[in-house]
Amino acid sequence: MGVYPWVAWFAFRRYTAYPLGSGAEALTNTVFGFIRASVLIALWRARPGLGGYDTADAVTFCFLTQALIGPVQVFGGMELTERIRNGDVAIDLYRPTALQGWWLADDLGRAAGSLLLRGVLPLVAGALVFPFHWPGPAGAAAFTVAVTLGVLVSFGLRYLVTLCSFWLHDGRGMDAVALVLSLFFSGMTVPLVVFPGLLGTVARGLPWAAQIQVPADVYLGKHTGTGLLGALAFQAVWAMALLAAGHVLTGMARRKLVIHGG
């Protein structure tokens, strides 16, 4: 077995080491899900069928966003940012592995742990209290693929933001900008199907849509046949483009890097 699966496995172990802490986070995600679901129910009561969703679709969407906050790390951030700032990244670059590959493996392990500990509670609690949709076996399989691609896109975006620290030294400004874009264009604030006109068209074409909106639509069975393949291809193309950009930027960062101190 190569080194990357081990990196992913140990990241998984690390991020599942404190189940109580993760459970506490999942509880907060669930509470927010209840509040947001009540708001969406009121909107769909006023406008039934808005954006092609029925009330149960909207509620399910809301709890899916809460379940996916952890896995796709909507609030942004990567451990690597701090390592670039304090110079520990020199150790990462010294390893006979690719910087991007190492951190991608780490992030996949983290996402899997997070899905397990933070994804289940919001969905189950939402299903118990509100009208809710569960997918069939085929839908669940497609959803698994869509979430994996969503995590890849999320990593691609966060890796690019993180690498900016090589030039800016202080990552907080970029993190803040990335947070605004991520919260708004992923469908966290309001489902993208509610965005009116041109704003909606643009938002549905941006990479943030691939993080939450597309996996949720796949879960809800809004895409079938070639439509489903198109949705997954949309995610895959963004994932590849972002990872390729990350690869190029890694090379530039390597040439730029001056290690602070001895």
Does the footprint of another protein cover residue 124 (CB under 8 A)?
no
Separation CA 18–CA 115 (nearest Å): 14
Separation CA 45–CA 29 (nearest Å): 24
Residue 192 C-beta: closest distance to another protein, Å: 10
Residue of 27, 93, 206, 236 interacting with another protein (CB under 8 A): 27
Separation CA 63–CA 59 (nearest Å): 6
Residue of 56, 124, 194, 237 interacting with another protein (CB under 8 A): 194
Measure the CA dihedral 24/25/31/34, to 10°: -130
Residues 171-190 that bind another protein (CB under 8 A): 172-173, 176-177, 179-180, 183-184, 189-190
Residue of 31, 140, 141, 252 interacting with another protein (CB under 8 A): 31
Residue with token string 């068209």: 201
Does the footprint of another protein cover residue 114 (CB under 8 A)?
no
Q: How many CA atoms lie less than 13 Å away from 185 in the CB half-sphere?
A: 19
Locate 194 and state its tokens.
């509610």
Separation CA 51–CA 216 (nearest Å): 14
Does the footprint of another protein cover residue 17 (CB under 8 A)?
no
How many CB atoms are located within 10 Å of the residue 176 CB? 10
3-state secondary structure of 258: coil
For the CA atoms of the chain, what is the radius of gyration?
Answer: 19
Does the footprint of another protein cover residue 237 (CB under 8 A)?
no
Residue 184 C-beta: closest distance to another protein, Å: 6
Query: Which is nearer to another protein, 41 or 236 (by Cβ)?
Result: 41
Residue 175 C-beta: closest distance to another protein, Å: 8
Query: Which is nearer to another protein, 164 or 243 (by Cβ)?
Result: 164
Binding region for another protein (CB under 8 A): 18, 20-28, 31-32, 34-35, 38-39, 41-43, 46-47, 50, 170, 172-173, 176-177, 179-180, 183-184, 189-190, 194-196
